[in-house]
Amino acid sequence: MDMGGINPAILIASLMVASVPIILAALGELVVEKAGVLNLGVEGMMIMGAICGFATAVATQNPYLGFLGGAAGAACLSLVFAVLTQVFLANQVATGLALTLFGLGLSSLIGQSYVGIKPPLTGTVPLGPLAEIPFLGPILFDHDWMVYVSIIACGAVWAVLKYTRMGLVLRAVGESHDAAHALGYKVVRIRVLAILFGGALAGLGGAYISLVRVPQWTDGITAGAGWIALAIVVFASWKPWRILLGAYLFGGITVLQLNLQAAGARIPVEYLSMSPYLITILVLVIMSSGKGKAALNAPAALGQNFHASR
């Protein structure tokens, strides 16, 4: 079953790989936004995760430690955001932008000595004969473990937000921090933890780009993935499962245009490479125009700083 030299099974399998960084980063940002904080620094945290993960993996020659390092590096950067917005009560939009600008600079500073190095290989999960099943095998059972982690994380975030006390408290803080504070919940502490969680997930996503997707280090390697993750959160109207949908849609377009480039389509390469960004904008427009339905789902205290005056 070939469509102009593009095999659909491989296409689906590679779109799942392509969307992993965005799923992880968007899930993290979803939790952060559910707690009422708008962190626009996803791009900066992702690229810090990418370089920290890369550096750790190269130093230890262990991709798994690399992912941990990436998550830790990005969480450290998000701690700066947490301190600035939660303790120093700085404007969240401006601080998020600062995080991105700083992250891009710092990552390329750290990354200088890593250009041209190959990271250790992240292997596929050995699922034995399952991977041999025609069509379904390559799609479902022939991936590295992060692909499965991203899907499991999606389910876990959904379950925690929906069914646990912790999720309820988190959502309460995001809907009305004053009410949550009056009930005795530590608004600032909960938000700081949410921001750190978001940072760690963005870092995992970034590390996936530099360790598996590309896999090498170049400046600006994330190429706007963090911004697309932010857009996907809006697209998903703050629902975890829809993030999976949005990210696969986006990953599908990315992979398709890469395949078209490789197949030598008549459309110039530049126009193909801009298509994911254009589609993301289009999707944003559709989601936000539908009688404000998506906007209704937004946490009510999103982007507002909390200062306990009493």
Partner 1 sequence: MVRLEKRPSPSAFWQWATPVLAVILTMIAGGIMFAILGKNPVEAIRTIFWDPLFNEQFAAYSRPQLLVKAGPLILIAVGLSLGFRAGIWNIGAEGQYIMGAICGAAVGLALYPLETRWVFPLMVAAGIFGGWLWAMIPAILKTRFNTNEILVSLLLVYVAQNILASMSIGLLRNPEGGGFPGSRNMSQIPAMANPELIPGTGLHWGVIMAFVVVIAAYILLQRHILGYHIKLAGQAPRAARFAGVSPNRLVVLCMGLSGALAGMAGLFEVTGPSGQISIDFNVGYGFTAIIVAFLGRLNPIGILLAGLLMALTYIGGELASFMLGLPSAAIQAFQGMLLFFLLAVDLLTNFRIRFGTRKEAL
For 135, list phi and psi in degrees, rounded to 5: 60, -65
How far is C-alpha 223 from the chain's CA centre?
A: 13
Work out how close the CB of 209 gets to partner 1 at its nearest, in angstroms, rounded to a whole number.
Answer: 15
Q: How far apart are CA 167 and CA 156, in angstroms?
A: 11
Work out how close the CB of 91 gets to partner 1 at its nearest, in angstroms, rounded to a whole number.
Answer: 7
CA proximity to 45, closest of 62, 61, 57, 32: 32
Handedness of CA 280, 51, 244, 197 (dihedral sign): negative
Work out how close the CB of 148 gets to partner 1 at its nearest, in angstroms, rounded to a whole number.
Answer: 29
The smaller minimum CB distance to partner 1, of residues 91 and 164, is found at 91
Q: How far apart are CA 257 and CA 271, in angstroms?
A: 9
Q: How far apart are CA 10 and CA 13, in angstroms?
A: 5
Q: How far apart are CA 71 and CA 52, in angstroms?
A: 8
The smaller minimum CB distance to partner 1, of residues 84 and 190, is found at 84
The smaller minimum CB distance to partner 1, of residues 13 and 25, is found at 25
Work out how close the CB of 251 gets to partner 1 at its nearest, in angstroms, rounded to a whole number.
Answer: 16
- Count of CB atoms situated within 10 Å of the CB of 91: 13
Six-digit token string for 114: 């890593």
How many Å from the N-terminal Cα to the C-terminal Cα in the chain? Answer: 67
Work out how close the CB of 59 gets to partner 1 at its nearest, in angstroms, rounded to a whole number.
Answer: 17
Work out how close the CB of 286 gets to partner 1 at its nearest, in angstroms, rounded to a whole number.
Answer: 8
CA proximity to 169, closest of 196, 189, 195: 189
The smaller minimum CB distance to partner 1, of residues 59 and 101, is found at 101
The smaller minimum CB distance to partner 1, of residues 212 and 272, is found at 272
Which region holds residue 135: left if phi is over 0, alpha if psi is between -120 and 50, else beta? left
Q: How far apart are CA 160 and CA 169, in angstroms?
A: 11
The smaller minimum CB distance to partner 1, of residues 7 and 273, is found at 273
The smaller minimum CB distance to partner 1, of residues 176 and 273, is found at 273
Q: How far apart are CA 21 and CA 46, in angstroms?
A: 9
Q: Which residues bind partner 1 (CB under 8 A)?
A: 40, 80, 83-84, 88-91, 93-95, 97-98, 101-106, 108-109, 111-112, 219, 223-224, 227-228, 230-231, 234, 268, 270-271, 273-274, 277-278, 280-281, 284-285, 288-289, 292, 295, 307, 309
Work out how close the CB of 49 gets to partner 1 at its nearest, in angstroms, rounded to a whole number.
Answer: 16
CA proximity to 80, closest of 244, 192, 174: 192
The smaller minimum CB distance to partner 1, of residues 24 and 51, is found at 51
Work out how close the CB of 303 gets to partner 1 at its nearest, in angstroms, rounded to a whole number.
Answer: 11
